[in-house]
Structure 1
Amino acid sequence: MLPTTTHSAEVMVTARHIASWPRERNALIPADCWRSAQRVAFRLPAVKRAVPVCRNLVRAWLDGQGIDDDDTRYPVLLVLSELFTNAIQYSAGRRVTCRIWRSEGLLHLEVHDRGGTASVPLMRRPAQTQEHGRGLELVAHCSSRWGRRTEADSSCTVWAAIPLTAGVRNGMAP
């Protein structure tokens, strides 16, 4: 983990952290919740149990940034959950990276995986009786814009920009 005195931080989460969660929370989240980290990246194992851990890490970063308005937090955590779950389900990679930062009234969220499958994230319109397939529709609804990038190495980044609400403090938390 990079020190939080920089403007960005990277956190490597291991399978041991996931298996011992929430006891490992304090080992990963600094006391100031990344208050000075304008950008943060979380690298987690590509397993379903990593989704709530990543949500907890992002929630702590939001706390450190003074973003405590539910009209912002709920969409951010929902988009994160959908994108992270898709990366686990549709990637052949062993790790997923989540990046989050804020600029110009937006929270930017990226979820990156190593690819390795022919599946490409596409928004679908599933039938009412289908239980799955609405994730990217939720992402589109919660975001001012979203998209995906496929790199030459077949890795994939799906990103979203989520508006900060009027109730969110500007700048760093005190």
Structure 2
Amino acid sequence: MLPTTMHSAEVMVTARHIAGWPEERNSLVPADCWGSAQRVVLRMPALKRAVPVCRSLVRSWLDGQQIHDEDTRYLVLLVLSELFTNAIQYSAGPRVTCRIGKSENHLHIEVHDRGGTPSVPRMRRPGPSREHGRGLELVAKSSSQWGRRVEADHSCTVWAAVPLAIGVRHGAAP
């Protein structure tokens, strides 16, 4: 779970931003790529087209945090994509909120949806012939921890902690 005491930035992404992507990128990403924000909150429409936009914004945040290790970036973007896609697919809510933050040894990712369906995220083990159903299994394999919180109103937060690469200095000037 993300610590709440860290400096954060919030971005409200609209359907207009997504329709005009990538030209709209500069209106959302600050000049320092959130270099001073240890945490970023992205409020996005629950649209499949929002997934690559969310990944692009998180890439910019990783740049601002000077997290350049390709293995770490790959895992963060994989986990984010799986959680965001699940939130869109299994929620009836119009928006999804993504939070990503950095602690000393981990990047913490949370994806929150407003629910609207009684579906609860759970890991499945589909057979080899199945095309879908491996998202949370990928999240579990790509993170050191993951979990979920489901509220009485069926809103849901799924979170994961991705370890920062050992031996790679993050936040230091290149």
- Same fold by TM-score greater than 0.5: yes
Distance 1:53 1:167, change over 3 A: farther
- The equivalent of 1:20 in structure 2 is 20
Query: 1:109-148 residue pairs with structure 2 within 5 A?
Result: 109-148=109-148
User: How far off its partner does 1:167 sit?
Assistant: 4.8
Measure, in 2, the Cα distance between the counterparts of 1:145 and 1:58: 20
Kindly provide the CA deviation profile for residues 112-139 of structure 1, in whole angstroms up to 9, marking residues without a partner as x: 0001111111101101000000000000
Q: Is the 8 A contact 1:66 1:168 kept in 2?
A: no
State the secondary structure of the residue aligned to 2:153: coil
**Structure 2: stretches of 5+ with no match in the other structure:** 1-5
Greater mean alpha carbon deviation, residues 145-154 or residues 62-71: 145-154
Task: Write the letter of the residue equivalent to 1:38.
Answer: Q
Q: Which amino acid aligns with 1:50?
A: A
Please say which of residues 83-92 and 163-172 is displaced more in the overlay. Answer: 163-172
Counterpart CA distance in 2 for 1:90 and 1:160 is: 18
**C-alpha distance in structure 2 between counterparts of 1:64 and 1:169, whole Å:** 14
Q: By how many angstroms is 1:172 displaced?
A: 6.2
Normalising by structure 1, what TM-score? Answer: 0.93
Equivalent in the alignment of 1:3? none
8 A contact 2:112–2:158 mirrored in 1: yes
SS at match of 1:89: helix
Give the secondary structure class of the aligned counterpart of 2:83. helix
Deviations 1:83-112, CA, capped at 9 Å, x for gaps: 000000000000000000011300000000
Q: Kindly report the root-mean-square deviation, in angstroms, between the aligned alpha carbons of the 2 structures.
A: 1.4
Matched residue, 1:103: 103
Runs of 4+ more than 2 Å apart: 166-174
Contact 1:64 1:173 in 2 (8 A): no
Aligned to 1:56: 56
The TM-score with structure 2 as length reference comes to: 0.93
The number of residue pairs the alignment matches comes to 169
Q: Which amino acid aligns with 2:36?
A: S
Query: How far does the alpha carbon of each residue in 1:51-97 deviate from its partner, in whole angstroms, 9 at most, with x for none?
Result: 00000000000000000101100000000000000000000000000
